[in-house]
Structure 1
Amino acid sequence: MRYLILLLALTLGFARLSAQVSGYGLSEYQYGNLPGERPKDLSTLYNQLNISYKQGNVRLAGRFETFHSMAFTDSNYVRPTQLSFQYKKDNFSFTLGNFYETLGKGLLLRTYEITGSIFETRAERVRYAFLRDLRGAHGVYSSKYFEIKALRGKMLDTYFAPINQEEARRNDFVEAIDVKGNYKGQSHWVNCNEA
């Protein structure tokens, strides 16, 4: 057994592994309250950590958010708010977890993130990342003449803070196939959606 562990350690020691880990964070501390609200000396802290790991064709990503209020402890939370696995090779990509997508010109479906911004609900006094994403599965195949996108997932309702149940935050179900063709320099597309 010791020889097997030694052999494994030597093999990994000489093997060439290359990966990329990246991340960034955002923190915001607030002192004070809205005019006329109690307590006047409200103190809150919001943190966001985004981590991404990429090796070859595989990418893993996650977002973790925390919110702590000194006065309203029932609004405190610590949780992963986004997790995703992506495989991408040549003209094909597949994602499981959280993703962003726009179909057509964005009238049927448009997801987004406003990077660096923080949303606060006035009723609950909770802060969280300002975004609208989908959680589910997403695949794209593209070539010189056409592109096919297929997705299935639940849309995030930005109105509900992370202290609410996941069923309340993601109650809209979306399935869609988007086909775009390119013939003699002109684009044509067909969308099939079910909400």
Structure 2
Amino acid sequence: MIQTKNLAFSYNGKVNFNFPDISLDSGQVLLITGGSGKGKTTLLHLLGGLLKAQSGSIRIGDINIESLSNKKLDKFRGKNIGLILQQSHFVEAFSVFENVVLSSWLATGQKAEEKAKSLLAELGLSDQIHKLTSRLSIGQQQRVSIARALVNEPQLLLADEPTSSLDDENAYKVADLLSQLSKEYGAALIIVTHDQRLKDRFSNQITLV
């Protein structure tokens, strides 16, 4: 589902990263750990097509995303890559439901309303769908982010520090939900984190040094 080879990236020629190769199938989970400044978020942004690699390749399904134009990459990302960021960014004037539906409309031009309702129900948010996201707890906001990332049934889920602001109970709930839903929807899941609690949760790990 996702394969990388010889990925390298440089910031202004001063900070250089050479990343280990990744190979991950549908439904599999990879945990990427490492200290501050080791390139965890840079790698995640490369995998999500938010940054262009200096060299190397990233294949998602049959597509080498490094070969796509910016316009084609934007379209591909919307349909095939689900992003769950450390800080949840929502349209504040929209309800929970509207934020999730917006993700489908931006990616496909269609409003996946039934899919959004189904996902929010599966994530235990049926009674929250008409609330503004600002009225939710941090844990609930993170689950809305998961619903938004999954609504287009992506091939790849990328989660950047998804549990860092959560207490133990909610951190484990979110980790288990991500793993369960990646299998259910057939998405490869990559979690980038420094959260030590997750190291015991996932056996497939890479540590950036």
- Normalising by the smaller structure, the TM-score range is under 0.3
TM-score, normalising length: structure 1: 0.23
TM-score, normalising length: structure 2: 0.22
**Bigger Rg, which one:** 1
Q: Which has the higher strand share?
A: 1
Q: Which has the higher helix share?
A: 2
Q: Which has the higher contact order (CA 8 A, sep 6+)?
A: 2
